[in-house]
Structure 1
Amino acid sequence: MLSQRWGRRALLAAGTLPALPRLGSAQAWPNGPVRIVVPFPPGGSVDTVARLLQPHLQASLGVPVIIENRPGASGALGAAQAARAAPDGQTFLHVFDTHAVNPALIANLGFDTQRDLAPVLLFGTAPMIVTAHRARPWADLPAMLAAARARPDTVTFGTIGNGSLAHLVMMLLQKAADARLVHVPYRGGGPLATAAAAGEVDLPTATGTIFVQHIQAGTLRVLASTGARRWAAAPEVPTLRELGLAVEGEAFWGALAPAGTPPAIQARYAEALRAAMEVPAVKDRLVNVMGIDLAPREGAAFRDFLAQQIETWGRVVRENDIRPD
């Protein structure tokens, strides 16, 4: 208790985060270190977000916050581990948009995505961006599509893997544009970024955070974004809908807990996350560097969002017979 009181007093004195409410059965929580399961390798966007939030969560909760990277199967292995954890508030799971695709993509998850994990907080969303290497001749997406229609199955697009949201969005784009492209899956954002910079693939497609430095250096040009609004980092670039293609898809990040975790504990953890995201240095990194549109949603609102994502992208997986890598 002494360390908890000290951590909260020091934090309030510094004016960094607001005090967190003590809610009913959550008063005795946390009872020791809090574990965040990150179901991806270090260095990815989920890991980066967790590590940005970690010190502020520790300060507000008054206990160590430990990040455990449990990669594999597009996040499914780590999610299964979290789903089996005790629902005592000592374990949370941080996820990316693959969490909503995996139920349709992977035959035997080992857990029920909607039944075995409780949605705690959606952090925010970000569009995919379709880019082209500067050596390619296309100044914009219509020019690329014209070339793809003239020579089907010759223009390639690269993503972080089969079944990734970028892959699914590009499948929809091909149908909407009546064009045939060739998918080149990479094993994660790092390999895709390296390939993009080297010009190995025609259309590197992913969240902007993977390509920021290459865009700034002029190595990649942005042809389109896939969100409901234009990408803030390139406001001059149109969305797919603005180009007449009825396609939309955005990545998302969020936190879940093992089903049965007391609602009061979930609420306190959500409040700690919200407060950490409002720390100026953290918010600047999330919004201006990673390009995440922070739009926190708790509990039922996040549950509804997940259900819609699972339905939307599951249908795309099934209709296109997409299989895991």
Structure 2
Amino acid sequence: MPQLTRRVLLTAAAALAAPATIQAQSAWPNGTIRIVPPFPPGGSTDALARLLQPHLMRILGVNVVVENRPGASGSLGTGAVARSAPDGNSWVLVFDTHAVNPALIPNMGFDTEKDMTPLLLFGTAPMVLTAHRTRPFKTFAEMAAAAKAKPDTLTYGSIGNGSLAHLTMALVGRAAGLQLVHVPYRGGGPLAIAAVAGEVDMPVATRPAIGVHIDSGALVPLAQTGATRSPSMPDIPTLAEAGVPGIDARAFWGFLGPAGIPAPIKQRMEAALLEALAVPEVRARVIALGIDLDPKGEAEFGAFLSRQIATWGAVVRENNIRPD
């Protein structure tokens, strides 16, 4: 009898608590929503966050603020969100460094896969291996011949040690038998300035970072790093077409929150993001950034992240790469 009474009391307490929990979740959003681009203003994560901001405010009916929290290759701002309350009011918009950081920065203070909710993958974009227009080589084959003729003389620039471009070129060098010199810059802005000035032989970055200089003719595209040609760069051959098969290196942009966010909140935020992305001018501007827009929900994004973390973690370890 005491056990029966206790069971009845526990059931009754749960029944009383459930409506309150449901009401709290259904009342969301009930305050300011924060979106953190974990990089300085001016980059692609910042641009995408600010592009979505007014539409999310309209759709959700609350204030949405963009709060840049740069540092440690995006891990500082991401960690701040990972440690936030799972109430749907704190989110982070990440770039491909999110998948590299676990191997590159072992003491981040949070677990990328366990402490976060991978809500939505916006899309991906291959990087472009380019040559400054003053260099004598205009194709990947000509560059490879020049590199083999004089090992450890040709330079390539990236946004930093451990960046996706750095890791990709490590794979390219190994696969093609090239000895190239890596020149890391501190972000896309400094790399773009150095690229157009001809400071390095071969800038490597996404189209959002250096596309304007490709279009102007200052940079000559040699190859793109995706397994297939990007719709935004249909005339640029892939590495496989250039004679280096087996590499599929694509930057990505995704939206995450802390772990444990209630399902109703996740569903509503995902729906709001998809509605914002469906606005014609938003879609056009995202594509203009060089992002191959192809939204994927939590299950697919989570699986994608796990694959990326495993792939690039192995490259970091095998090449003994360290952060700046």
Question: How does the TM-score come out when normalised to structure 2?
Answer: 0.91
**Do structure 1's residue 285 and structure 2's residue 279 form an aligned pair?**
no
Letter in structure 2 aligned against 1:30: P
User: How many Å separate the matches in 2 of 1:222 and 1:53?
Assistant: 30
The residue aligned with 2:30 is: 31
- Where in structure 2 are the equivalents of 1:160-309 lying within 5 Å? 160-246=159-245, 247-287=247-287, 289-309=288-308
Matched residue SS, 1:169: helix
- Matched with 1:56 is 55
Tell me, in whole angstroms, the C-alpha distance in 1 between the residues paired with 2:27 and 2:313.
Answer: 40
Answer yes or no: is the 8 Å Cα contact 1:127–1:231 preserved in 2.
Answer: yes
- 1:128: which partner in 2? 127
Contact 1:257 1:266 in 2 (8 A): no
User: What is the number of equivalent residue pairs in this alignment?
Assistant: 302
- Segment of structure 1 superposing worse, 182-191 or 270-279: 270-279
- Counterpart position of 1:11: none
Distance 2:167 2:213 in 1: 23
1: CA distance, partners of 2:55 / 2:186? 31
3-state SS of 1:285 partner:
helix
Q: Distance in 2 between matches of 1:231 and 1:122?
A: 17
Secondary structure at 2:65 match in 1 = strand
5+ residue gaps, structure 1, are: 1-22
Does 2:66 match 1:70?
Answer: no
Paired-residue identity, %: 60
Q: What is the CA–CA distance in structure 2 between the aligned matches of 1:296 and 1:268, rounded to whole Å?
A: 15
CA shift for structure 1 position 235: 1.9
Q: Tell me if the contact between 1:241 and 1:248 (Cα under 8 Å) persists in the aligned partners.
A: no
What amino acid does structure 1 have at the position aligned with 2:67?
A: E
Structure 2 residues without counterparts, runs of 5 or longer: 1-21
Cα separation, 2, equivalents of 1:269 and 1:110: 26
Partner of 2:90: 91
Indicate conservation of the 8 Å contact 1:197/1:214, yes or no: yes
Tell me which moved more, 222-231 or 189-198. Answer: 222-231
Contact 1:232 1:291 in 2 (8 A): no
Q: Which amino acid aligns with 1:166?
A: A
Q: CA deviation at 1:282?
A: 1.0
What letter is aligned with 1:322?
A: I
The verdict on how the C-alpha distance between 1:173 and 1:63 changes in structure 2, with shifts beyond 3 A counting, is same
Larger Rg: 2
Quote the Cα distance in structure 2 between the aligned partners of 1:231 and 1:301: 20
Q: Is the 8 A contact 1:25 1:264 kept in 2?
A: no
Give the C-alpha shift of residue 117 in structure 1.
0.5
Q: Aligned to 1:158, what secondary structure does the other structure show? A: strand
Task: Tell me if the contact between 1:26 and 1:264 (Cα under 8 Å) persists in the aligned partners.
Answer: yes
Q: How far apart are 1:316 and its partner, in Å?
A: 0.3
Letter matched to residue 233 of structure 2: A
RMSD, aligned CA: 1.2
Q: Decide whether the 8 Å contact of 1:26 with 1:268 is kept in 2.
A: no
Q: Which amino acid aligns with 1:46?
A: T
